[in-house]
């Protein structure tokens, strides 16, 4: 496993290409072409997003996932496969199985063989009466990380899920809030050339207990006019977090 304590292997590098449904489509390409990555994540969900996806699913049961992910993947699947980058996203929303099938169809069309997996079980709508939830449009639970880990351990290259990132939240939030994680709250923010195009963060995991935020190679670190992007300002301890929870599954 990359980055194990006392190991001579290099740290695990986790990039992020989305902070919300509707984020920049170019971010996935920028992350894949901007530096060395092991994993690429993407966060597409929020409470409002689940409402949007719920209405989308009402129009067609085949929908309910973040379709913008497919647009990104169509442009970038070949690059990810060539570089050996594994992709983990919550773009599945209310229909992870539907997105997984759509990804397989896309990979077949592009003639790029990849193993695709998805995690489900977070949908509580069938249990709404039992749980006294009233008549919600959507009802979903945070599952934790074990399903994602099982998919990665099975050899999946692309893993999608719905509301399941609890348990990987320490790493996930640093990636999702990429600008802030890499110095976006610095008083010198406005002094950095090109700060309007700050990009996303790369989370470097040297071991199971510490996470550091940095940038892809083609970005200077926001908040540092010298552009020192090797060491970010966002550091967060993962107290007793199992290695599986930060996505180490190779």
Cα 47 from Cα 59, distance rounded (Å):
19
Q: Using CA atoms of 186, 189, 195, 197 in order, give the dihedral in degrees to the nearest 10.
A: 40
pLDDT of residue 248: 25
Retrieve residue 171's tokens.
């790493």
Q: What is the pLDDT of residues 195-227, one digit of tens each?
A: 555 556 677 666 554 444 444 444 444 333 333
Strand order in the sheet with 116-118: 116-118, 158-160, 86-89, 39-42, 12-16, 202-207, 210-214, 235-237
Helix, strand, or coil (residue 133)? coil
Local confidence band at 23 (pLDDT 50, 70, 90 cut-offs):
confident
| Sequence-ordered strand ranges (E) for 75-220 | 86-89, 116-118, 158-160, 202-207, 210-214
Please tell me the predicted confidence (pLDDT) of residue 8. 53
Q: What percent of the chain has pLDDT over 90?
A: 31
Q: Please say whether the beta carbons of 179 and 215 come within 8 A.
A: no
Q: Residue 88: which of 78, 100, 79, 98 has the closest Cα?
A: 100
* More confident site: 120 or 143: 120
pLDDT in the model for residue 95 = 93
pLDDT at residue number 206: 66
**167: CB partners within 8 A, 6+ apart:** 142, 144, 145, 146, 245
Q: Please, what is the average pLDDT of the chain?
A: 74
Q: Note the pLDDT tens digit of each residue in 128-143.
A: 899 998 998 888 888 7
Structure tokens at 75: 């442009």
Q: For residue 193, name the pLDDT band (cuts at 50, 70, 90).
A: low
Judged against a pLDDT cut of 60, whether residue 184 lies above it is answered with: no
Q: Determine the pLDDT at residue 189.
A: 59
DSSP 167: T
pLDDT single digits (tens) 88-105: 999 999 999 999 999 999
């Amino acid at each position: 496993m990359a980055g194990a304590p006392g190991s001579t292997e290099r740290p695990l590098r986790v990039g992020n290409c989305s902070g919300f449904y509707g984020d920049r489509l170019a971010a996935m390409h920028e992350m894949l072409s901007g530096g060395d990555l092991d994993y690429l994540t993407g966060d597409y969900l929020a409470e409002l997003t689940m409402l949007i996806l719920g209405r989308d699913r009402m129009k067609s049961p085949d929908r309910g996932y973040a379709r913008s992910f497919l647009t990104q993947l169509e442009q970038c699947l070949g690059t990810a496969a060539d570089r050996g980058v594994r992709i983990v996203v919550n773009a599945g929303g209310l229909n992870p199985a539907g997105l997984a099938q759509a990804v397989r169809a896309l990979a077949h069309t592009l003639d790029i063989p990849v193993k695709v997996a998805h995690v489900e079980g977070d949908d509580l709508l069938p249990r709404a009466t039992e749980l006294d939830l009233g008549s919600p449009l959507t009802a979903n639970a945070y599952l934790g990380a074990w399903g994602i880990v099982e998919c990665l351990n099975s050899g999946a290259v692309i893993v999608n899920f719905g509301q399941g990132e609890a348990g990987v939240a320490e790493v996930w939030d640093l990636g999702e809030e990429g600008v802030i994680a890499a110095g976006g709250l610095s008083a010198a923010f406005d002094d950095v050339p090109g700060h309007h195009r700050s990009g996303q963060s790369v989370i470097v995991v040297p071991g199971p207990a510490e996470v550091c935020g940095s940038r892809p190679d083609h970005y200077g670190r926001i908040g540092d006019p010298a552009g020192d992007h090797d060491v970010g300002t966002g550091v967060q301890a993962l107290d007793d977090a199992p290695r599986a929870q930060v996505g180490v599954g190779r």
